[in-house]
Structure 1
Amino acid sequence: MYARCTRQSLSFFLTLFMILVLALAGCATPASAPAPASPTPPPAEAPAQEAAMPASIGDVARAEDIALTPEEIEKIRGMKLRFGFNTNHRTDDFINLLIKGGEDTAAQYGIELLVSEAGFDANRQLGQIEDLVQQKVDGIFMVAVDFDAISPAIEKANEAGIPVVIVGGPPARGQVLSVMNSTSYDGCYESAKYLVDAVGGEGKIGVITIPLALKTIQERDQGTLDAIATTKMEVVGNQGVWRQEEALAAAENMITANPDLKAIFATWSLAVNGALAAIEASGKDIKLAGYDAEKAGFQAFHDGNPHLLALSGQQATVQGKAGIDALAKAVLGQPVASEILVPTVLVTRDNYKEMWDVLYPGITPPWEE
């Protein structure tokens, strides 16, 4: 009797257990089972910024490669475009020539150009670019104070579908249509090599740079140091400065600390001017070369200054035109190279008059004013 009852109880509990298992199986889909079929949703629309962002192709172009044809210029004239042109400062000839190249080209194409400058203030520039985005400009050409700090504004331009061409190096985040650069490494290497060879490749040399976190500035620094490394010269100072008076003080300190200093190399325009003033005030036979060929340097060549030997000049007006051309190409729906390179030219005592016409087209030289 006991055994029969136990078998009946066991049968009852097994049956109950199977019913519970089947019930639970009906309430959940095993991970390995295919999901239940559902109606196919309509294809999602691409985000507005992706649809509007112009194409950028991964190669390098020259300025002449992206020049607009007469037919393209006529199309652009009929579109009544507005471009923003924002620079990190406006205190040297390069920036002013860059703006001139952009303004002249925009005027030729019937484009309204909104020009602003940040005074080396990254936060100010961030606000300026965001303002251009709010104004719904058709394109932005800019020189960044800091490629990390400007990233949020670049991302907002991306969201709005506004193409951006940037001088010097890409932002840390966000996409740009193209990066505009001079051949910075080559320019500094060539000018610095000219200097160190002229002083015999031995002795002490100081270097004055600019502390900008940009790819093109890093390339200048590397080109300078690589040229010096080909000699037996000793770098006794390598200082970054923001302003001409700071360059003057840096050069004075180098000269005072090193009475036997033979040369100074400056990697940007105001550093060249400050270093030259310090050398002249010292009364010593110290030679100078640099990157950026500005009016003051050309005048020094014309006056026969014994200290200044060479300058590497950026073709700023060419870059300004190329920036507008690239944005116009993008508006027309054409792909643009991800990098645009404009070669530098070496300016010396022997060719400064010829090089003036290359770097300052249509502008009267200072010695003729």
Structure 2
Amino acid sequence: MKNAKRLIAAFLAATMMFSMAGCSAKQEAKTAEPKSTTQETQKNSAFADAEKKLEEALAPLPAKDSKAKLAALEITLANPFWVTMKEGYESAAAEYGVTIDVLAAPKEDDVNSQLETLKTLLSKDYNAIAISAITPFNLVPGVAEATKKGIPVVAVGTSVDAEEAKKVNAKIEAFITSDFEEQGKMGAEFIAEKIGSGKVAIIEGLPGAAQGEARKSGAQKGFEGKDGIEVVSVQPGNWDRKTAYDITTNLLQANPDLKGIFCANDMMALGAVEALKAANKKDQVVVVGVDFIEEAKASIAKGELDATVAMSPYLFGKGGLIIALKVLEGQTIDKDIYWTPLGLVTKDNVDSFEGWK
């Protein structure tokens, strides 16, 4: 666990920097003093520092200009989160002198299309493939085929079920992910603290999706044991904005005194905000999402979305490419999980996350 602990500590330090920068921003507002070059440098260096810590934790880094041909299979490019992760892959590929093709399913729940895309990738001459599975099961047959062909597969963000993979000799060489349960817990605890007491709801992602299930579990734990907090609904929003809008509308009809909603991603959180605005109840209900996509950032700055748990899809992509190249070099990759940074973004500290991706 040495590498994992080192990476966690590094990113906790980075998160502390965000909080410090947020405090600086609040003080600036009080004094109306112009921002100094030092303050701007501190604010805008947070992501660069986190990126540097990622590279340190994954050392020794692979050699550059190997000319390896890689592929990455994401969940969907219809969500800005995965678009940013694609940018992370492509930027890292340019830096390391390799090529990468990034593909994805049309929708976040299209498990069959994602598997077929993986099988298509396996018919080409890629040296290694990075995957982010929609569910723990849908890509197992494709990974088994890759193992049989001798094509190494690394998992990024989400992986395959270990027991199912073992049954068919489907091997994942390395796995980089985030603490999805902690994301849910952070979001729920923020809501509980903001409202003090009252009715709350959880809009989870796609049923069976590992990250969605973990965020739901984390949110439930975050609400548990809080005096006066009552969870009145836990429903799947399937990562979809319109579905979350409809769920929120129905929640308000059944619970007109609702005070908080945790959503398992930002797209659903933005849908919930839209429904609350339509019902003239946004000021009554605290909404928190996960991902920190650009639209969520703008919504927080406007005082609409209350908070989101920021992770780094860009570093997911970069880290995934690095570990794929390490595998190709024959470097030993232990089974530790490499965590990406977490930070709670609110209106008070959103400026501190300038340049985050």
State the distance in 2 between where 1:175 and 1:60 align.
21
2-side partners of 1:68 and 1:353: how far apart? 34
Question: What is the rounded CA distance, in whole Å, between the counterparts of 2:242 and 2:95 in structure 1?
Answer: 38
- Provide the residue aligned with 2:225 in structure 1: 230
Q: Evaluate the alpha carbon distance shift between residue 59 and residue 268 of structure 1 in structure 2; reply closer, same or farther with a 3 A threshold.
A: same
Distance 1:214 1:246 in 2: 17
Could you tell me whether the CA contact under 8 Å between 1:192 and 1:290 is conserved in 2? Answer: no
What is residue 66 of structure 1 aligned with on the other side? 58
Q: Deviations over 1:232-252 (max 9, x none)?
A: 311111111222111110111
Alpha carbons 1:66, 1:336 under 8 Å: kept: no
**By how many angstroms is 1:73 displaced?**
3.0
Q: 1:165 is matched with which residue? A: 154
| CA-to-aligned-CA distance 1:334-357 (integer Å, 9 cap, x gap) | 012322221211111111111132
Aligned letter for 2:72? F
Q: How do residues 167-182 of structure 1 correspond to structure 2 at under 5 angstroms?
A: 167-171=157-161, 172-173=164-165, 174-182=170-178
Q: Aligned residue for 1:49?
A: none
Partners of 1:316 and 1:248 in 2: CA distance: 25
Q: CA shift at 1:68, angstroms?
A: 5.5
User: How far did residue 209 of structure 1 move?
Assistant: 0.9
Distance 1:130 1:248 in 2: 35
**Would you say 1:135 and 2:124 are equivalent positions?**
yes
Instruction: Quote the Cα distance in structure 2 between the aligned partners of 1:268 and 1:255.
Output: 20
Q: Is the 8 A contact 1:122 1:146 kept in 2?
A: yes
Does 1:183 find its partner at 2:175? no
Separation in 2, partners of 1:59, 1:130: 33
**Whole-Å Cα distance in 1 between the matches of residues 135 and 329 of structure 2?**
30
| Percent of aligned pairs sharing the same letter | 24
- Cα pair 2:264 2:290 within 8 Å, conserved: yes
Q: For 1:58 and 1:154, locate their aligned partners in 2 and report how far apart those are by CA, in whole Å.
A: 28
Q: Is the 8 A contact 1:182 1:343 kept in 2?
A: yes
Match of residue 118, structure 1, among 91, 105, 108: 105
1:195-233 per-position Cα deviation (integer Å, ceiling 9, x unaligned): 111101x21111111124233322211110001113131
* Superposed counterparts of 1:255-266, under 5 Å: 255-266=252-263
**Deviation, structure 1 residue 146:** 2.2
Please name the residue that 1:350 is paired with: 348
Q: Quote the Cα distance in structure 2 between the aligned partners of 1:265 and 1:133.
A: 38
2:172 counterpart letter in structure 1:
V
- What does residue 313 of structure 2 align with? 316
TM superposition shift of 1:126: 1.2
Alignment partner of 1:95 out of 82, 94, 111:
82
Q: TM-score scaled to structure 1, two decimals?
A: 0.76
Flag the 1:212–1:157 CA change in 2: closer, same or farther, 3 A: farther
| Counterpart residue type for residue 185 of structure 2 | Y
Q: Deviations over 1:290-344 (max 9, x none)?
A: 2221212211222233xx3221011111111000000000111101232222121
Counterpart CA distance in 1 for 2:114 and 2:296 is 29
Taking structure 2 as the reference length, what is the TM-score of the superposition?
0.78
The yes-or-no answer on 1:275 pairing with 2:272 is yes
Greater Rg by CA: 1
- CA contact 2:263–2:269 (8 Å) conserved in 1: yes
Residue in 2 that maps onto 1:335: 332
User: Which digits, 9 at most, give the CA deviation of each residue in 1:152-196, with x for residues without a partner?
Assistant: 100011112222122223333122012221121122211210111
2-side partners of 1:240 and 1:347: how far apart? 24
- Are residues 1:304 and 2:294 paired? no
How many Å separate the matches in 2 of 1:250 and 1:281? 13
> Is 1:215 matched with 2:231?
no
Q: How many residues align?
A: 295
Counterpart Cα distance in 1 of 2:234 and 2:184? 15
**What is the letter of the counterpart of residue 68 of structure 2?**
L
Provide the C-alpha distance between the structure 1 equivalents of 2:158 and 2:115, rounded to a whole number of angstroms.
Answer: 17
